[in-house]
């Protein structure tokens, strides 16, 4: 049994005690053998581990990142509240599922399998950006941060992933790139006279913020003909 003892100096120690009875031929107890082991350090370590696990559990429940864990068969074994919010599936719906056809479009299964195999062989796949599908059928873009879980012998026993929905950020980046290319097309002309008469130059005149921006670009490149026209909008 385990119990605590108080030492003469007031210190508290945890001990584990065993007792064995020796009987004579008539079944009477003739002696007792007992052992007492100090397990204080073990109890402290166990308490520290429980505290760490509680903190980790609280973090997993509150983090805005989706936490998804897989076994070696690529089946989901952990699915936190953020994952529920991102993908729309409850924990009960997700546990036991594989990503294909669940949160991954079957058309990109080959790419996902390459990432998975790289993780199992510990040769890559730690980070990926790919399209996912939600319960509502919406396509979103997620960044995945993947970590293989290793046992004491160095074998992979699963993978834990953090998922972040970056759809809005990627969409905004694509729009900015689209507008940047459009601006470059407007200011990249063969001569100042050519830009003054371009339809694109006239087309953006109603949009004064864009016109002012374009005028600045043109001024910097010494294409004054269109700059003069735009600066008077």
Q: Where are the alpha helices (DSSP H) in the chain?
A: 40-62, 81-87, 91-94, 109-120, 167-187, 192-196, 199-203, 208-220, 224-230
CA-nearest of 187, 192, 221 to 204 is 187
pLDDT recorded at residue 46 = 76
- What is the SS3 assignment for 142? strand
Percent of the chain having pLDDT more than 70? 77
pLDDT for 219 beyond 50: yes
- Its sign, for the CA torsion 146, 67, 51, 14, is negative
Domains and CATH numbers, the chain: 2-46 (2.10.70), 64-165 (3.30.450.20), 173-230 (no CATH)
Query: HSE-up of 180 (CA within 13 Å, CB side)?
Result: 6
Question: Could you read off the pLDDT of 117-164 as tens digits, one per residue?
Answer: 999 999 999 999 999 999 999 999 999 999 999 998 999 999 999 999
pLDDT recorded at residue 218 = 55
Segment 93-121 mean pLDDT: 94
Q: Which of 16-25, 104-113, 133-142 has the highest mean pLDDT?
A: 133-142
d(CA 68, CA 159): 8
- Round the average pLDDT of the chain to a whole number and report it: 81
Question: Could you read off the pLDDT of 152-195 as tens digits, one per residue?
Answer: 899 999 999 999 999 999 999 888 888 888 887 776 644 444 44
d(CA 16, CA 38): 6
Question: CB count, 10 Å around CB of 89?
Answer: 18
Segment 20-42 mean pLDDT: 85
What is the pTM assigned to this prediction?
A: 0.60
pLDDT recorded at residue 206 = 43
pLDDT recorded at residue 178 = 87
């Amino acid at each position: 049994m385990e119990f605590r003892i108080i030492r003469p100096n007031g210190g508290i120690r945890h001990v584990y005690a065993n007792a064995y009875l020796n009987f004579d031929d008539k079944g009477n107890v003739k002696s007792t053998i007992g052992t007492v082991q100090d397990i204080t350090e073990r109890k402290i370590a166990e308490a520290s581990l429980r505290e760490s696990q509680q903190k980790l559990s609280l973090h997993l429940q509150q983090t805005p990142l989706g936490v998804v864990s897989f076994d070696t068969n690529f089946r989901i074994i952990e699915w936190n509240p953020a994952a529920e919010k991102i993908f729309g599936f409850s924990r009960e719906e997700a546990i036991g599922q594989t990503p294909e056809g669940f949160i991954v479009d079957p058309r990109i299964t080959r790419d996902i399998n390459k990432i998975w195999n790289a993780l199992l062989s510990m040769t890559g796949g730690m980070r990926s950006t790919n399209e996912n599908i939600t319960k509502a059928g919406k396509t979103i873009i997620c960044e995945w941060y993947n970590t293989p879980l290793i046992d004491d012998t160095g074998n992979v026993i699963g993978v834990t992933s953090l998922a972040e929905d970056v759809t809005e950020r990627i969409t905004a980046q694509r729009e900015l790139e689209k507008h940047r290319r459009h601006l470059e097309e407007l200011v990249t002309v063969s001569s100042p006279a050519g830009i003054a008469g371009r339809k694109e130059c006239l087309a953006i005149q109603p949009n004064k913020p864009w016109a002012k921006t374009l005028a600045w670009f043109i001024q910097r490149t010494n294409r004054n003909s269109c700059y003069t026209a735009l600066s008077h909008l």
